[in-house]
Amino acid sequence: MLTLSCPDRVGVIAEVAGLLAGHGGWILEASHHSDAESGRFFMRQEVKADSLPFDADGLRQAFEPVAARFEMDWQVTDTGVPKKMVVLVSKQEHCLYDLLARWHSAELEVDLAAVISNHDVLRGVVEWHGAPYHQLPVDPDNKAQHFDEIGALLGKIQPDCVVLARYMQVLPEWLCREYAGRIINIHHSFLPSFAGARPYHQAYERGVKLIGATCHYVTADLDAGPIIEQDVVRIDHSDSPEDYVRYGKDVERTVLARGVRLHLEDRVLRNGNRTVVFD
């Protein structure tokens, strides 16, 4: 899997396709986007591994000159190597349950390397599914220790994706920077509406007719990272805030699962604080 972005200009597609074809590369899926606003070009090329005379490192070496010439931000990943995922949770279980079921049934083909929580309440269900569980309690007077312990564990695992599945702690700037573009959160509102705490109750007070969920990359700015996936569900005057929570959970589960899959399949490319999603 080759993904790239670069300053837009004539010839990028021809150069990339020519290099791949020149080595016998069989392109299975090709997507690209020319973004007028940013003046950048985005591409995703899925190449049949055994059509090439070299492995992923060989492709990286062959591609380097083209990437340099076009000032590309790029990466080559071997989809034959399962990506590593870590899930952070607190006490809310619905998004975790959904991810565990998709992983356990192999619908989500990923190495679930760890589930980390500041509570112990979800240990049983995680270990029943055969995933490792790490409880790292939070001392309100020393939250830095909690995040240091998370950082140390993530450093050992080196995950491709860290999912905040209703994890209720605000990550420090250093952790967001260290894993920029790899930490995914599910916020239970249709951002930018109702950022922060208790969004369903904010929505009730505002009298909206749609509520939703947003899957986004995590940055130091709370709930403000690039959006990966969103969806909404209708509510009406007869619904209570508790109804909003119940309807909202269904949307949260599906939006997070879609967002995680898009990330794991290298279908999401950063475009400033926006994303290009080759779905």
171 binds ligand LMY7XDAE (CB under 6 A): yes
Q: Between 46 and 223, whose beta carbon lies closer to ligand LMY7XDAE? A: 223
Active-site residue identified among 223, 239, 266, 279? 223
Nearest of 124, 178, 115, 169 to residue 142 by alpha carbon: 169
Residues touching ligand LMY7XDAE, count (CB under 6 A): 15
Q: How wide is the angle at C-alpha 144 spanned by C-alphas 143 and 145, nearest 5°?
A: 90
223 binds ligand LMY7XDAE (CB under 6 A): yes
DSSP annotation of 15: H
Kindly state the smallest distance separating residue 28's Cβ from ligand LMY7XDAE, in Å.
34
How far is 80 from 75, CA to CA, in rounded Å?
Answer: 15
230 binds ligand LMY7XDAE (CB under 6 A): no
176 binds ligand LMY7XDAE (CB under 6 A): yes
Instruction: Please tell me whether residue 17 adopts helix, strand or coil conformation.
Output: helix
Q: Between 14 and 197, whose beta carbon lies closer to ligand LMY7XDAE? A: 197
Kindly state the smallest distance separating residue 119's Cβ from ligand LMY7XDAE, in Å.
10
Residue 223 annotated among the catalytic residues of the structure? yes
- Whether the CB-CB separation of 225 and 185 falls below 8 Å is answered with yes
244 binds ligand LMY7XDAE (CB under 6 A): no
245 binds ligand LMY7XDAE (CB under 6 A): no
Strand order in the sheet with 73-76: 27-35, 40-47, 2-7, 73-76
Q: Which two tokens stand for residue 27?
A: 């392109």
Q: Strand pairing partners for 277?
A: 268
**Residues known to be catalytic:** 223
